[in-house]
Amino acid sequence: MEENIVTLVDEEGNEVKFEVIMTLEAQEKEYAILMPLEDNGEEAYIFRIEEQEGGEYSIIPIENDEEYENVVAVYETLMQEEGLE
């Protein structure tokens, strides 16, 4: 399952490993839900996935509250649908 692990660098320059919980689409953009591997808490992080030149991908923190709320709403809807099956 190593392919679901990404490493990001925080503000202090520390490498932090995250598990990709899921990816989803909201308003025609792709997002990744990431959970820190080291943190036993339940707080997940949402990042926008952007394709760069050459087929590389970057994950960008969401800084817009409205965009964040839209992604959370899509995520919650998906979780509710999963629970009904």
First-last CA distance in the chain: 25
Q: What is the mean pLDDT of the chain?
A: 88
Residue 77 has pLDDT above 70, yes or no: yes
| Average pLDDT rounded to a whole number, residues 14-31 | 93
For residue 43, the model assigns a pLDDT of 84
For residue 84, the model assigns a pLDDT of 59
Lowest mean per-residue pLDDT among 15-24, 40-49, 65-74: 40-49
| Average pLDDT rounded to a whole number, residues 24-44 | 88
- CA contacts within 13 A on the Cβ side of 30: 9
